[in-house]
Amino acid sequence: MAFRCGFFISKGGDRTYGVDDMMNPITSIISNGVVADNIDSSGFQVQPAGGLSVIVKPGKGFLFNKWCENDSDYLIEISTPSVSQQRIDSIIIRIDTSDNVRNGSIEYLIGTPGSD
């Protein structure tokens, strides 16, 4: 591998940088996860909102070399659970790098009901 460094001011278009070049220094400092806030530590916390609803609190994160941000409470309606079978549902941050999407989202995944 060759020695590399950057960023330099372009003179006549001799310097161009892509997204991987921009992310390279950041990945040395930040790993996957929620970015801690010095003022409020509730970033991306999932909290009850009454009934079968939860709220994902505002927060910032860094996942798979992509940044994400939720700037307000995000309400999610939970599907009605079975009274006789337990299940574990999940709230996730999904990063979709496929060419036709290239975006992130907060998603609710319904678990599979247990057999007992």
pLDDT of residue 32 exceeding 90: no
pLDDT tens string 4-24: 788 899 999 998 888 888 888
The C-alpha atoms of residue 52 and residue 79 are separated, in whole angstroms, by: 7
Alpha helices, DSSP H only, in 19-103? 19-27
Query: Bigger pLDDT: 20 or 38?
Result: 20
Q: Return the minimum-mean-pLDDT range out of 32-46, 56-70, 84-98.
A: 32-46
Are the CB atoms for 61 and 93 separated by under 8 Å? yes
Q: What percent of the chain has pLDDT over 90?
A: 52
Q: How long, in residues, is the chain? A: 116
Q: pTM above 0.85?
A: no
Per-chain mean pLDDT for the chain:
89
